[in-house]
Structure 1
Amino acid sequence: MSNPPAVENFCAFFNKLDKTCTEKLYEVYTEEVVFNDPLHHIEGRKALERYFAAMYENVERCCFTYHTQQQQGNQAFVTWTMEFVHPRLAHGKPVSVEGCSALTFAEDGRVSQHRDYFDAGAMLYEHLPVMGRVIRWLKQRLG
């Protein structure tokens, strides 16, 4: 069974996204897009463009493996594993993070609302020198 074109376009775009093509967000997002993740709340495509440009500034590699993709009407849900390499995180080794995206599409098939769910500690905090040790210690104590 094939996935709806809007979901396919979204997934394909993110696997091409890097610091050189953030200006092409208009292909996937509406002008008034609202984006949320555990670390940010962003309104508007220009603000989202600045966010992605800053985020990808030092990322050496980032790719997504998509798992479940479901769409009903203008709502979609995509689960994924993101693997990225950043020289200041995990000593420059690949970091993998599981997550999902809840999407709302406008009439033209572009995303008008995008909410990402993922463990911010697994993505960022656990890989920082001092904070990482503290978070890993806490997880061991609570687990």
Structure 2
Amino acid sequence: MNAFSTLSFSLLLTLLLTACSSTPKGPYGYTDRYQQALTSAPSGHPVDSATIDRFIAFFNPLDANTVPTQIDTIYADPLYFNDTLVTLTQRDELAAHLQATAEGLNSMSLTVNHIIKDGSDVYLRWVMEARFSLLGSERLSYTIGISQLRFNAQGQVIFQQDFWDSSQGVDQHLPVIGPMTRWLREHD
């Protein structure tokens, strides 16, 4: 590493560590939004396996051609959606987010390993596989996560909170951010 790279990395690391060293005064980002949405969202309705299978199929694979044609049957409007990257409350915002995600990736799919039904909440434990091009080469990312879902009487998702660590997935492949998150993970 040359002197400029070392200095740049040191300055960036110092900035990040300084930013992380103080305790912010609430609200605490998506944690507060999740807690509020969890208590204010309508109770979900119990769903059958076909409804859950339809939801899973929507993401297998996530396809830019099917997002606009299927979003209305999968998601209600309004809704609560948080995938740890964005929090959205309108179906058209979610459609735009999913469309951009599908167009930005070579492919993305979920393998659901376990389904838990707890009253009106459904939890899916999954592995996401994403393929994308970065700096002229294809990258593959595997990430584990859990989605908490609530459905309305029509079988549409009214509440979705994804729990996953983006630094273990796509972020680790990004220039500057990737090496930094890998270094921090190895030195915690």
Map of 1:22 onto structure 2: 67
Q: Which residue identity lines up with residue 12 of structure 1 in the other structure?
A: A
Q: Do structure 1's residue 9 and structure 2's residue 54 form an aligned pair?
A: yes
- The CA RMSD over aligned residues, in Å, is 1.8
The alignment partner of 1:129 has SS state of: coil
Map of 2:138 onto structure 1: 92
TM-score (normalised: structure 2): 0.69
Cα distance, 1:4 vs structure 2: 2.2
TM-score (normalised: structure 1): 0.90
Deviations 1:85-140 (A, max 9, x none): 11028942211010111000101111101111110101232111211111111111
Map of 2:10 onto structure 1: none
Match of 2:82 among 31, 36, 50: 36
Name the CA shift for 1:6/1:12 in 2 (closer, same or farther; >3 Å): same
Cα distance, 1:53 vs structure 2: 0.8
Match of 2:104 among 58, 81, 91: 58
Map of 1:119 onto structure 2: 165
Structure with greater helix share of residues? 2
Name the CA shift for 1:4/1:13 in 2 (closer, same or farther; >3 Å): same
Name the CA shift for 1:61/1:126 in 2 (closer, same or farther; >3 Å): same
- Alignment gaps of 5+ in structure 1: none
Q: Do structure 1's residue 76 and structure 2's residue 138 form an aligned pair?
A: no
- Structure 2 distance, partners of 1:128, 1:16, is 23
Corresponding residue pairs, total: 140
Query: Would you say the 8 A contact 2:61–2:110 is kept in 1?
Result: no
Query: Would you say the 8 A contact 1:7–1:69 is kept in 2?
Result: no
Match of 2:152 among 84, 91, 106: 106
Query: Would you say the 8 A contact 2:139–2:173 is kept in 1?
Result: no
- Alignment gaps of 5+ in structure 2: 1-47
Cα distance, 1:74 vs structure 2: 2.5
